[in-house]
């Protein structure tokens, strides 16, 4: 399993290196392209700032009111049985529905437990391997006016479930539960 | 969708908070969380613009096209229903590669074009074809190599090593994608008869 963590440290420098070499090979104007792309990135982040404000406040209210703790206690009997961290249930479900709302919940967990805690690592891995199923499906199918989606939802949910289970197993293997 | 989720979260929070006598905490949260959101975006500004800058070079150099050509043999296996040189395959591969590199802005337009082409091949226009199901299930199983925004969030909350989750995340992604493809193939066989 150590090799997986080594890979984590290599992939960003390697990607940057390969892209730059490839860019030289194709005679791309490297620095101009970089600056232009970086500008795009800045406006993207500035564009999502209002969303982040709105959702962090909403999740913050849920947290401060004690509603998230109540939900955690409600699902505890089931999650204890499965060995699933109960604090992450709201995030796991929200992940399927809304990308920005799940980001709000993710940040809340980072704040509560820290990104390097067992829970923090588990949700980081889980967020990397799942997608907003319902939203994506409706955008793509609506664009071509398809109403009968057959087994798309079932397949996507199976993929997501496998991702969540794999994340939990990998987190348990790499970092013993606290 | 967000209309209900966002409003719902706040209303549920306010109601539960009123019963629990947590109004003071809620007031503080409204002020603190909005401030925190801005701090988070400042961290993200640096990390994300660095990454999108590098990815712009990749895009200009034609890396997406080169990699999508390499994907073709694999796509033929996954989408036996699409003719060999059909445009749909090109758009699907661009969508997959852009997703792997985390280029959302390039992925979605190509994905919509792919759906358009798949619809041309489709015999029942209101029903998803096998290829459409496969395409979307793979798309939604997450393909991204480096989830830069998660790294930015981790770094904002003082992770000692924000990037340590890249490898584990990638491994989990492999599992979710394989499960999606397998499920899709099984459904295809069962309903195809």
Residue B164 lies in a domain: yes
Q: For B76-87, how does the pLDDT look when each residue is reduced to its tens digit (9 = 90+)? A: 999 999 998 899
Mean pLDDT of chain B: 93
* Burial of residue B40 (number of CB atoms within 10 Å: 0-12, 13-18, 19+): buried
Residue A2 lies in a domain: no
Q: For B62-77, how does the pLDDT look when each residue is reduced to its tens digit (9 = 90+)? A: 998 899 889 999 999 9
Q: What angle do CA A126, A129, A135 make, to 5 degrees?
A: 100
- A60/A76 Cα distance (integer angstroms): 21
* B106 and B28 within one domain: no
Domain that holds residue A51: 7-174
- A113/A62 Cα distance (integer angstroms): 16
Q: Which two tokens stand for residue B53?
A: 């800058």
Q: For B20-41, how does the pLDDT look when each residue is reduced to its tens digit (9 = 90+)? A: 999 999 999 999 999 999 999 9
Contact yes or no for B48 and A8 at CB 8 A: no
Helix, strand or coil for residue A97?
Answer: helix
What residues of A are in contact with residue B167 (Cβ under 8 Å)?
A: 3-8, 11
Ramachandran assignment for A177, one of left (phi > 0), alpha (psi -120 to 50 degrees), beta (any other): beta
Best of B33, B35, B63, B170 to substitute, by most chain A Cβ atoms within 10 angstroms, is B33
Contact yes or no for B136 and A156 at CB 8 A: yes
Contact yes or no for B55 and A37 at CB 8 A: yes
Residue A1 lies in a domain: no
Cα–Cα distances in angstroms (integers) from residue A80 to residues A83, A118, A169, B71, B108, in the given order? 5, 16, 15, 42, 39
The confidence score (pLDDT) of residue A115 equals 97
* B144 and B71 within one domain: yes
Domains of chain A: total: 1
* Burial of residue A57 (number of CB atoms within 10 Å: 0-12, 13-18, 19+): buried
- Which chain B residue has the Cα nearest residue A96? B140
Best of A162, A174, A175 to substitute, by most chain B Cβ atoms within 10 angstroms, is A162
The confidence score (pLDDT) of residue B1 equals 73
CB-CB contact of B153 with A174 (8 Å) = no
* B67 and B40 within one domain: no
Which residue, among B55, B151, B152, has the nearest Cα to B104 in the 3D structure? B55
- B178/B126 Cα distance (integer angstroms): 28
* B123 and B98 within one domain: yes
Percent of chain B predicted with pLDDT > 90: 83
- First CA to last CA distance, chain B: 37
Residue A96 lies in a domain: yes
Which residue, among A91, A84, A125, A86, has the nearest Cα to A106 in the 3D structure? A91
CB-CB contact of B43 with B90 (8 Å) = no
Which residues share a beta bridge with B127? A148
The confidence score (pLDDT) of residue B42 equals 93
Nearest chain A Cα distance for residue B68, angstroms: 15
- A167/B165 Cα distance (integer angstroms): 10
Q: For B104-130, how does the pLDDT look when each residue is reduced to its tens digit (9 = 90+)? A: 778 999 999 999 999 999 999 999 999
* B143 and B69 within one domain: yes
What residues of B are in contact with residue A120 (Cβ under 8 Å)?
A: 154, 157, 159
Domain that holds residue B186: 62-192
Percent of chain A predicted with pLDDT > 70: 99
* Burial of residue A43 (number of CB atoms within 10 Å: 0-12, 13-18, 19+): exposed
Contact yes or no for A6 and B167 at CB 8 A: yes
The confidence score (pLDDT) of residue B192 equals 55
Residue A38 lies in a domain: yes
- A42, A101, A166: residue with CB nearest B5: A101
The confidence score (pLDDT) of residue A12 equals 93
* B182 and B93 within one domain: yes
Contact yes or no for B128 and A150 at CB 8 A: yes
Q: Which two tokens stand for residue A175?
A: 């970092």
- B33/B72 Cα distance (integer angstroms): 47
Residue B57 lies in a domain: no
The confidence score (pLDDT) of residue B193 equals 44
The confidence score (pLDDT) of residue B106 equals 82
Which stretches of chain A drop beneath a pLDDT of 70?
A: 177-178
Q: DSSP letter string over chain B?
A: -HHHHHHHHHHHHHHHHHHHT-HHHHHHHHHHHHHHHHHHHHHHHHHHHHHHHHHHHHHHTTHHHHHHHHHHHHHHHH-TTS-TT-HHHHHHHHHHHHHHHT-HHHHHHHHHHHHHHHHHH-SSTTB--HHHHHHHHHHHT---S--HHHHHHHHHTT-S-GGGGHHHHHHHHHHHHHHHHHHHHHHHHHHH-
Domains of chain B: total: 2
Q: For B163-186, how does the pLDDT look when each residue is reduced to its tens digit (9 = 90+)? A: 999 999 999 999 999 999 999 999
């Amino acid at each position: 399993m150590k090799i997986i963590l080594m890979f984590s440290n290599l992939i960003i420098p390697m990607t940057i290196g390969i892209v730059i070499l490839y860019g030289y090979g194709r005679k791309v104007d490297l620095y101009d392209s970089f600056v232009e792309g970086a500008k795009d990135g800045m406006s993207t982040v500035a564009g999502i700032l209002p969303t982040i404000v709105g959702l962090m406040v909403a999740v913050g209210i849920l947290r401060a009111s004690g509603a998230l703790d109540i939900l955690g206690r409600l699902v505890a009997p089931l999650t204890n049985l499965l060995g699933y961290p109960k604090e992450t249930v709201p995030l796991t479900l929200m992940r399927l529905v809304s990308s920005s709302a799940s980001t709000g919940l993710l940040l809340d967990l980072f704040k509560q437990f820290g990104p390097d805690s067992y829970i923090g690592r588990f949700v980081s891995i889980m967020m990397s391997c799942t997608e907003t199923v319902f939203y994506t499906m409706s955008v793509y199918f609506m664009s071509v006016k398809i109403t009968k989606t057959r087994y798309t939802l079932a397949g996507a949910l199976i993929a997501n479930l496998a991702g969540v289970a794999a994340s939990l197993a990998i987190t348990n293997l790499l970092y013993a539960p606290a | 969708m967000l209309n209900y989720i966002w409003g719902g979260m706040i209303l549920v929070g306010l109601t539960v908070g009123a019963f629990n006598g947590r109004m003071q905490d809620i007031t503080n949260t409204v002020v603190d969380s909005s401030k925190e959101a801005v701090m988070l975006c400042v961290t993200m500004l640096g990390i994300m613009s660095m990454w999108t800058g590098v990815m712009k070079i990749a895009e200009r150099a034609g890396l997406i096209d080169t990699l999508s050509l390499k994907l073709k043999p694999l796509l033929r296996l996954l989408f036996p229903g699409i003719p060999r040189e059909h445009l749909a395959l090109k758009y699907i591969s661009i969508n997959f590669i852009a997703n792997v590199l985390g280029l959302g802005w390039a992925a979605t337009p190509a994905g919509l074009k792919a759906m358009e082409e798949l619809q041309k091949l489709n015999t029942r226009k209101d029903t998803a074809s096998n290829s459409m199901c496969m395409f979307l299930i793979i798309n939604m199983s997450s393909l991204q190599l480096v989830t830069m925004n998660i790294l930015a969030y981790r770094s904002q909350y003082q992770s000692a090593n924000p990037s340590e989750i890249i490898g584990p995340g990638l491994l989990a992604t492999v599992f979710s994608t394989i499960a999606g493809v397998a499920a899709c193939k099984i459904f295809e066989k069962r309903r195809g008869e």
